[in-house]
Amino acid sequence: MPHHVASDYLDVVAYSDAQLRIVLADDHQLFREGLRAMLHDAGMLVVGEGSDGAQATALVRSLQPDVLVLDLSMGRHCGLDALRLLSTEHPDVRVVVVTVSAERRDVLEALDAGARGYLLKDSPVDQLALGIRQAAEGQIVLSSFLADALRTHAHAGALAEGDRQALTPRETEVLRLIADGADNSTIGQALSISPNTVKQYVRNIFEKLGVRSRLQAAVHAVRVGLV
């Protein structure tokens, strides 16, 4: 069974089972306690807790969790700086931002820095748990309010229109599946096309959007309202 070993605001859990392993980083202890209980009820295991970006970085380095749940505003050690660093150092660790800011700039900065999800703290408990699990599976996850706001903004802009014209309908379908975390095999099965054809679509999408990775493609799609 897991047990807690605490030091100041940093809390590490020893574990022995194969649950989805989570590190929490938030400077509000009561919020961490509530989120930890909620994740436990959802069948996940919080293996470490920190109160700022520096502690979040140390915990990810030492524990190699499946998901880091990160607040952006945590005093002297910014969550966004930790996100940028960890996205480079530990790209296999999915980062989900859970914060109070619904500002478009903050959402896009976090996604550009490598976050797999951006959820608001006032989201329903079941949506937080579902979003964290979906991000662990590779999907890009946004609170519904944020997704709607980004789409509305994009639909009013020329950039989104240009991207919609650049991508064919089938390329847009492939991009939506990429944003859902699907690999080439899954995309091929979903669209009844061969893996080689999927690869060609993915190459075309990367070239048209000016991106180099599936994550960048998915983030770009969210940014301009294509998905």
Residues 39-73 have pLDDT tens digits of 999 999 999 999 999 999 999 999 999 999 999 98
Averaged over 91-113, what is the pLDDT? 91
Extract the tokens encoding 106.
Answer: 């903050």
- Cβ neighbours of residue 84 under 8 Å, at least 6 residues apart? 113, 114
Which tens digits make up the pLDDT trace of 170-209?
998 999 898 888 889 999 999 999 989 999 999 999 988 8
Residue 182: the pLDDT is 87
User: Which H or E run contains 111?
Assistant: helix 104-113
Mean pLDDT over residues 97-124, rounded? 90
pTM metric for this prediction: 0.75
Say yes or no: domain 3-144 is CATH 3.20.20.70. no
User: Residue 7: which pLDDT band, with cuts at 50, 70 and 90?
Assistant: very low
Q: What token pair was written down for 68?
A: 């880091």
* Per-residue pLDDT, 227: 60
**Please, how many CA atoms are within 13 Å of residue 222, restricted to the half-sphere of its CB?**
27
Q: What CATH number labels 157-224?
A: 1.10.10.10
Q: Domain spans of the chain?
A: 3-144, 157-224
The predicted pLDDT at position 176 comes to 87
